[in-house]
Amino acid sequence: MATSATLAMAAKARELREEGKDIIGLSLGEPDFNIPDFVKDAAINAINENYHSYTPVDGYADLKKAIITKFKRDNHLDYKPNQIVVSTGAKQSLANLAMVLLNEGDEVLLPAPYWVSYSDISKLAGGVPIEIPTTIESDFKITPESLKAAITPKTKMMIYSSPCNPSGSVYTKEELRALADVLVDYPNIIVISDEIYEHINFTDNHASMAVFEDMYDRTVVVNGVSKAYSMTGWRIGYIGGPEWIARACNKMQGQITSGANCIAQRATIIALESSPSKIQYMIDAFKERRKLILGLLSEIPGFKTNQPQGAFYVFPDISYFFGKELQGVKINTASDLSMYLLEKANVATVTGDAFGSPNCIRISYAASEENIIEALKRIKKALT
Ligand code: PMP
Ligand code: GLU
């Protein structure tokens, strides 16, 4: 099993900072905003109200109710409480799902680029990741044809994120329907729809595979509060999905971590019950930063980008540099370039290899405008 490349790079940047280096971290997908005050207050109230005990494994009943209302409000999805499982982060939800659904040798379709942990979580559960390649020209999206070509009798699951980490691509409802039209012929395939960037979407539309009647019974929606509410360290995620899968996740989680943190769950109720308009200021800021970073990147020869529609990453194709020598350093891979930028520009990025796209690097713009400007100035200087 590989170490998480996102977390490894963040750790390396931290280490170099401790040595006194002025590193700008654009590696981790972590909003730099504070948690909104109304959410913080809910947590403080929960402490003062003496919340302290173990929680129900699948989450407090009133949090599940808030999640059900949120699914209805934002996604037009209907769930009952026994279809919801709250977890210690979307990452745990994904791990639960892989462990309960995959048997040794089951194939897991991963439209590439995919979020870094899908592959190793699948392997850990005995699955075999099968990448479905895409190109920057098609906005890093798979097509019904490429999906169909990847399916075998061993295919058990498909995991994708929309908005996508790392490409920022957003599948439209029509595009998802076209993929669903292929999947309807393979009723054994479970779809995991990772919607953690749902609110960080610069298009007007967020679509979920689960809204299609013929997919609802075999789609699990994964979501959480890390990104939209800047609650990364509070560790709350959740799923909505078929009851039999929720029951299995509940059982798995009950043997591994038990219910999620009680204070963070109380705060999550308030976060999810609030109108998404309360976090619009963060989305607006990310949109401005996207414009800023795309503008700055366009001034650097050798960076080819798509126009990300959501999340907070750019995922440039940097294969232009392969085979070249920069300041005496030979660049043969995206990992070489990412390390070169860390050492020569003091900017942390993540190699695309970790996301199944070896021609790209990922740059997170969940950082201040000041840091983005300075980082891109340094990158430009190191590369030209
Ligand atoms: N899915 C995607 C696509 C992500 O980018 C992340 C980032 N952390 C996660 C899941 C996991 O989120 P959480 O913090 O809720 O574990
Ligand atoms: N999801 C974030 C990222 O992709 C956080 C890191 C992680 O959980 O791996 O950078």
Per the CB < 8 A criterion, the answer to whether 108 and 130 are in contact is: yes
How much distance in Å is there from the Cα of 6 to the middle of ligand 2? 6
16 and 136 in a single domain? The answer is: no
Residue 151 · residue 196 · CB < 8 Å:
no
Q: What string of DSSP letters covers 100-160? A: HH--TT-EEEEESS--HHHHHHHHHTT-EEEEE---GGGTT---HHHHHHH--TTEEEEEE
Asked if 99 contacts 252 with a C-beta cutoff of 8 angstroms, the reply is yes
224 lines ligand 1 (CB under 6 A): yes
> Does residue 90 line the site of ligand 1, with CB under 6 A?
yes
- Sheet of 313-314: strands edge to edge? 313-314, 361-364, 350-351
> For residue 314, what is the enclosing H or E element?
strand 313-314
Give the pLDDT band of residue 204 (cuts 50, 70, 90): confident
Whether residue 238 is found in the same domain as residue 296: no
For residues 261 and 319, membership in a common domain is answered with: no
Domain end (from 274, 299, 326): 274
Nearest protein CA to atom 1 of ligand 2, as residue: 29
Confidence bin at 1 (pLDDT 50/70/90)? confident
Kindly report the CATH number assigned to the domain that includes residue 249. 3.40.640.10
The answer to whether residues 45 and 18 belong to one domain is: no
Based on the domain organization, do 148 and 268 belong to the same domain?
A: yes
Residues 301 and 265 grouped into a single domain: no
Q: What is the pLDDT of residues 219-251, one digit of tens each?
A: 999 999 999 999 999 999 999 999 999 999 999
Q: In this structure, what token pair is assigned to residue 296?
A: 């700055």
For 302-322, the pLDDT digits (tens) are 999 999 999 999 999 999 999
Task: Indicate if ligand 1 lies below 6 Å from the C-beta of 117.
Answer: no
Q: Which of the listed residues 234, 251, 274 is the one where a domain comes to its end?
A: 274
How many domains are there within the chain? Answer: 2
User: Residue 115 CA: which ligand 2 atom is closest?
Assistant: 4
CA of 213 to the centre of ligand 2 (A): 31
Do 111 and 162 reside in the same domain of the chain? yes
- Single out the residue of 180, 182, 205 nearest to residue 195, CA to CA: 205
CB contact at 8 A, 16 and 23: yes
Question: Ligand 2: which residues within 6 Å by Cβ?
Answer: 4, 6-7, 28-30, 91, 116-117, 165
Report pLDDT digits (tens) over 66-123.
Answer: 999 999 999 999 999 999 999 999 999 999 999 999 999 999 999 999 999 999 999 9
Tokens of 40: 């913080």
Statement to judge: residues 26 and 43 lie in one domain? no
> Same domain for 151 and 203?
yes
> Do 226 and 359 fall within a single domain?
no
Residue with structure tokens 């798995």? Answer: 252
| Over residues 290-305, mean pLDDT | 96
Q: Is the CB of 165 within 6 Å of ligand 1? A: yes
Picking from 274, 289, 312, the residue at the C-terminal end of a domain is 274
Best CA proximity match to 23, nearest among 367, 314, 356, 282? 367
**pLDDT by residue (tens digit) across 133-163?**
999 999 999 999 999 999 999 999 999 999 9
Packing angle of the helix pair 90-101, 243-256 (nearest 10 deg): 110
Domain that holds residue 25: 5-30+279-383
Q: Is 352 in the pocket of ligand 1 (CB under 6 A)?
A: no
Q: What is the DSSP letter of 249?
A: H
What tokens appear for 268 in the block?
Answer: 């999550």
**Quick one: which H or E segment has residue 331?**
strand 329-331
Residue whose C-alpha is closest to residue 273's, from 225, 233, 232, 310: 225
> What pLDDT shows up at residue 108?
98
What is the β-pairing status of strands 219-224 and 190-194?
A: parallel
* Domain shared by 81 and 17, yes or no: no
Alpha-carbon distances, residue 171 vs 203, 206, 300 (angstroms): 10, 8, 28
Counting atoms of ligand 1 from 1, which one is nearest the CA of 224? 15
**What CATH number does the domain containing 315 carry?**
3.90.1150.10
The amino acid occupying position 278 is K
Same structural domain for residues 152 and 266?
A: yes
